[in-house]
Every structure is written in C-alpha cells, then in structure tokens.
Structure 1
C-alpha cells in the first residue's frame, strides 16, 4: 500500500462534508449578525433536505442508465462549485436583502443551498469513485470524512466561537444573578469561510492526484487485479457447472444448496435478501441518529451541565468519528450479528442523550461531576459505536460492487433526511425542548 495514496484518500474524504460541517460550527458567531438569528439552524435543516435532489438525480441515473454517468466529471463540478460557494460566502454571508418589508439573509441561504447540494451529492459520487482504488483505501476515505467534522470544529475552537463567560449582575430586586457574556472571536467569520474554501481546494488537488499521479496509478485495480477477479468468477462458474453434473450432486450439502438458493441478486450475491434489507435498514437508522436526530438536541443535553461539558462533548464526539474509522482499519469485523449488537449499543446511548435533552433544563445528576462525565461519555460512545457500524457497512458494500456503493450513499442521505425531518417540527416548530442556562440553574440539588 502507498502512504501517499492513503493521505490523498483522506484529504479527498475531508472535502465531502467540510462545508456544511463548517457552517454548523460557525453558527454561534453567524447568528449574531443576521436577521434570522437562531432560526437559521431550522432553515439550514430544510435547505439540506431540499438539496437531496442532487443525490436523487445521480441515483436515478445509475439505476436507469447504468454505466452512462461517470463520477469523475460530477466530482470536478461539485468540488469546483464548493470552492466558489465557500469563497463567495466569505464576502456575502452577512449581506441582507429586503423582501416584502422584512430583511433576510438571501445570499447566505442561497450559498448554503449550493453547499448542501455539493455535500449531499458527494455521498453518491465520492464513494463509487473509491471503487477505482484497492479496498484498503476506503477505510482511509471514511477517516477523512470523519475529519471533515473534526477539523472545522477545532478551527472554530481556536477561533473562540460560542465561548461564554459568566458574570455576576445585580438585578432591580437587588438579587445577584449570573449573566452570560459571549467573548469576541479571535478572527472573523470571513477568515473561517476562506479556510473552508481552502479545504475544498485541497480536496480538489487530492482528487486530481488520485486520478493522475503515477504512484496512485499503481494502486488502482490493474489489469492483473481485474483478471484475478475474472478468474475467480470463472472458477466459481466452473464449480457451479461442475456441481450440477449428476456425479457431483450428492456432494452438495443441503445447507449449501439452501444458501445458494437464498442468495439475492444484489451485488455479487454474497448476502440473502433478508441480509441486504437488514444492512440497509441499519445504515439508514444509524445515519438518521447521527446526522438528523441527535445533533439538534446536543445543546439541550449538554448545556445544563455547563459550558465546559457542552464544548467537551461536541469536540470529543467529533474526534470519535475518525477514531472509529481508524479502529475499523485494523479491526474490520464484518459479522452482521456484531453489527446489530453494536447498533443497539450505540442506540442505547442515543436514547440516554435524548432523555437528558427532554429533561432539560434539569436533567439527571445536573449538579454533580458524575453527571458531566456520563453525558460526555454517552456522546463519545454513541458516535464511536455508530461510526464504526457505518464504516463496516461501507466496507461490506464496497465488496458488492459499484452500484452497491451508489445505493450506500443514497441510503445514507435518505436516513439523514428522515431523521432531520422528524426532528424539525419537534425542535423548531413545537419547541418541545427547553434550553438550559450555562450560568444559571433553578433546578433542585
């Protein structure tokens, strides 16, 4: 394996969701300068789901016109669009347009939509492109995809986004209360968005080198590699024909005959129809939780324990994603039973997080150090376990062929969309969750 190819695959993967992840971590700074305020996350949720028109088009093209659409021109287009949109965002994110007598951040919303199209479409174009490289590099790509959330979060942490200090303030009733004071950022949102544009440029350069660098060309599926696959298929066909002769029929065990009969037509037929459905249901469920259901309630679940708990949970959760990919690189356990158990394990921690968010502003163990430790650990184990499941499913589907990875990206987007749309009315319309105050709590000890 080539270290250069691993680095390029990681940098390529970082460009998949770095733009939208960067938007989310910059929200605490952006909302102070736009008329939408904290309603912007609700708008972003809807915008991202509308942007799924991109992956829908790619998936339908692969389904009805297989082999016609090449991923490489699509990737050049969307990465180029991402570079331009993030660069324009740096200069127009706080521009306002008056519509029907009210002010709106039209440039910000339009550019956010374009970035959402870029990132959503990457799920059904970047993954199939990785089929051109050896299987070992797919896990590296997933590591880069995890870093697409971690790197902007670390830069925002250095920037000082969302840092709050509590300051005593005397009210009219002569009672002393704490007031949350937002500290000024170390550098502006404009510089942050230029950084995101530079990250997209790095992704484009990595993609160009993956296509044209001689060292990477040696790591692609060479003619010998393809011939080995063809020889393997021919051997399987030969064994199948040989097994159908009258002399060999008694050698086939009933279990093996049943297994062959139950194989699905999906991919290479490795898994039965039930197993294929199980894999995709788990994939949709995991992405619904990690991308749509739990992120909107992170502040509700953590902020009652204090601002340090919130920032620690957010940062460590972002770190857990690439760590899970790194673990999967050396311990790729493909057992569907293990995958199901790990999904239940992560879902259990997700349920605890959701319960604490529902109990906000007075969750369990609110005034204790153990409560802070538990909520941070819950976020770490939730992201760690379900991120591992996502990587293993990607590795499994990669072995099933090009179309399997296209459907993998489509199901990822479908699960994320269903999760986000289910939480949007709960959080933004009915407002069933109540935010905790990092500086003041009126909960019983």
Structure 2
C-alpha cells in the first residue's frame, strides 16, 4: 500500500506544471508556424501572468470563506480543464483569425490561458490536499512536480526539433539563374513526431495525474492528517511554489485545508536578519523573478534563433530541465549565506545579460555561424536558469523559516517582479520592435 501511494503521489504531482513546461519546450517548433513568430514568447509571459487570477480567487475564498472551498472539487475541475485544453490544443493550436487586420493565433492564446490557469492554480490546491497524507508522501509528490518539467524537456529532445540545413534556392531551381543571384534559405527537417502528437502526450500526462488523484481520493482513510515534518520538505515546496509567482502567497502550503489564517509565527527556528538584510532578500526575490519569469523568456527566440533553430531547441529544453535539477541540488546542498546567494544571483544575472545582449544584437550576434557561439548561448541559458532557480529556492526557504507573514510578502514580491518583467518587455518587443528577427542562412552579417 505504501508503494502504491508513493506512485500515485508522484503521478499526481506530474500534472502540476507539465502543460506550461510543455508549451515552452515546444516553442522552437511553434514559432515557425504561428504568425507572431519570434514575438510569441513575449505574449506567453503576459498570458501566464493573467492566469494568476486562479490562485488569487482561491486565496480570496480561503480568506473570506474559511473551510467553504473544497480542494478536491477544485482539483477535479482544473485537471479536467487541463486534459480538455491539451486535447483542444492538439487540434486547434495552428488555427488563426484576423484581428485588427492582422492574422493572430487566437485559439492558441485562449487555450494557453486555460492551461496556465490550471498550472497556476495547482500551486495553491495540490499541496494542501497532499498535507492530508503523512509527510513522507509529500516528498514523492515533489518528485512528480520535478518530472513535470523534466519529462517534457526529454520528450522535446527526442522529437529532434530544430534540425535544419541551408539550401541554395538557385540550385533548387535548376541553376537557370546567374550565380551572383543565388540566395540561401533555411530548410527545416521534419521532427520525429509532430506538434499534435506532442500535445496529445501532454494530455496523456494530465490524464495520468487526474487518474492518480481520483485513486488517492478512493484510498482507505487510514492515514492521519499530519503536517509534521513539513519543514523538512521546505526546499521542495518552496521550489515549485516559486514556479508560480504569488502561488504561495496565501500560505496554504503550510496549513491543513479548511484551517483559518495562521498567526504570523516562525515555522522553524531560523537566524534573525536586520532591516538591510531583509531589504536585500526581498530585492533578490523581485529581481530574480523579474528576470526568469518576464525579461529573459520574452526574448529567448531573439537570443537563440540567430544561431539556428537547433540552438533554440536545446536552450529551451535544457533550461526546462535545469529548474528541477537546481531544486534537487537545493534539497541536498543548502547554503543560506546571503553573501553566497548574492554572488550566485550576480552570476546568474551575468548569464542573463549575455542572453539579453545577444537578443539585442539579433540577427547578427557574436560568434554567429560557429559551433562555439551555439554552445555558449545554450550553456548561458542553462546556467542562467539553474543559478537563479537555486537562489529562488534558498531565498524562499529563508523567508519560510522566518514567519508566515514573510512568506506572504515573498509571494507578493514574486508576483510584482514577474509582472514588471513581462509588462516591461511586451511593448519593447511587440510595439517598438527593438528586437529584430532574421533567417539563419540568408542574413548577411559583417565579419
């Protein structure tokens, strides 16, 4: 029975962020089809921020009507919406409509909003439900949440998106034109399986999560309601709670469902910090979430696609894998030194600055057309995501150990940083056109 519950808890956690993670790793293939093209990631960052309406409503219900909101009902609803949305995405992701005289991916945006709503809301409903089981099963649940980022990345790598070659258009026409007029263009080789199949696989994973939740609900109630030792799992809970800015703001992850608001008291004995240290901690929360959830994701296409679609594919897939890896490292190797975290944040900011600089230089970034350039941009995105993910986890742990109110302000700081980042980049990318796209093969860059 214990092994069965572990497996079900892991499968249940799989449905937490698998949909949004799947969308991000599939973007290298999607941006070549949808009319928004390289601007698509900036739209997604704004849509995901709008989807925080779900956690906000759940939070308000818990505060205004304690005990009235049933997590089981909400979880059944959001997982069902997730399954339906993934199925609809497989059929309608590339359908467009004319809006204000331009072709827009209306269906993709609407379905993406509901998928984001599912994943954002999972952060304030899945964990409270899991606290009804002994603490040892919560760790298994967080393993499942880690797999929600790891599996889509691995599947995307197996899909082999981004393999391309430069084709001389004159040769393709039979060499009837003058050699001086020859031009090259990028020809993408077909992936091992289509985007539709990928979205169906996401739907299957959501179905597995839904089935696991239904099975957990039907298990004999032989487990005691227990939240003891939850502090031992603080790293994992904070790690995946921070994936959704503001998701932990109601503090439900540390209370049993139906409880009233907990008093602001330390969750565990932790060191006291001065006003300046707390200011620095909250500054890191705002900045790290601003960079990882708003600023850089909006321009990932511009920083990578100039090196080729393969570089973009690898950076998106490996960055998705880097987050659960950083969280796993944080579970075993914890360093709460503010000096260390500040240095690590600066290092991650350096990688992010390089990525932003390459996006600004698009379509002619440094070392374009070289293997070294491709390797550097992929590794830069990998280390950017990994280092700042570790900082997010440890800063969240520090605030979680301090008090409940500190964690509430942490959620507010996360939301503010993510919102500022996405709102700042959207007009720069889509209105003012500060970032330029180009074809990897046909763009002529100065030596």
Same fold, judged at TM 0.5 (above): yes
Task: Encode CA deviations 1:238-286: one digit per residue, 9 max, x unaligned.
Answer: xxxxxxxxxxxxxxxxxxxxxxxxxx94654855584555544423322
Map Cα deviations across residues 268-319 of structure 1 (whole Å, 9 max, x no partner): 4855584555544423322221222112222322333344433333332222
The DSSP-based 3-state class of the residue aligned with 2:183 is strand
CA–CA distance in 2 between the matches of 1:91 and 1:199? 17
Q: Which moved more, 1:302-311 or 1:61-70?
A: 61-70
Distance 1:101 1:327 in 2: 49
- The residue number in structure 2 matching 1:290 is 292
Q: Alpha carbons of 1:98 and 1:40: their partners in 2 closer, same or farther (altered >3 Å)? A: same
TM-score by length of 1: 0.75
Q: Distance in 2 between matches of 1:7 and 1:325?
A: 20
Q: Distance in 2 between matches of 1:141 and 1:88?
A: 27
Report which stretch shifted further, 418-427 or 278-287: 278-287
C-alpha deviations, 1:137-167, integer Å up to 9, x for none? 6666555444433422332333343432221
Alignment of 1:173-322 (within 5 A): 174-175=179-180, 176-209=182-215, 213=219, 217=223, 221=226, 265=264, 267-268=266-267, 270=270, 271=272, 274=275, 278-322=280-324
Superposed CA RMSD in Å reads 3.8
Partner of 1:377: 379
Count of residue pairs the alignment pairs up: 405
Name the counterpart of 1:248.
none
Q: Is the partner of 1:442 in helix, strand or coil?
A: coil
Q: Normalising by the residue count of structure 2, what TM-score does the alignment of the two structures yield?
A: 0.75
Unaligned runs of 5+ residues in structure 2 are 172-176, 231-262
Which residue pairs with 1:237 in the alignment? none
Partner of 1:253: none
Cα deviation code 1:151-206 (max 9, x no counterpart) = 22332333343432221233965234321012234333332222111111222234
Question: Is the contact between residue 140 and residue 329 of structure 1 (CA under 8 Å) also seen in structure 2?
Answer: no
Distance 2:100 2:340 in 1: 56
Partner SS for 1:170: helix
Note if contact 2:24-2:316 (Cα within 8 Å) is conserved in structure 1: no
Distance, in Å, in 1 between the alignment partners of 2:323 and 2:312 is: 17
Which stretch shifts more, 76-85 or 202-211?
A: 202-211
Aligned ranges 1:116-131 → 2 under 5 Å: 116-129=116-129, 131=131
Name 1:250's counterpart in structure 2: none
> 1 CA distance for matches of 2:111 and 2:373?
40
SS in 2 for 1:180: strand
Once the two structures are TM-superposed, the CA of residue 325 in structure 1 deviates from its matched residue by 1.8
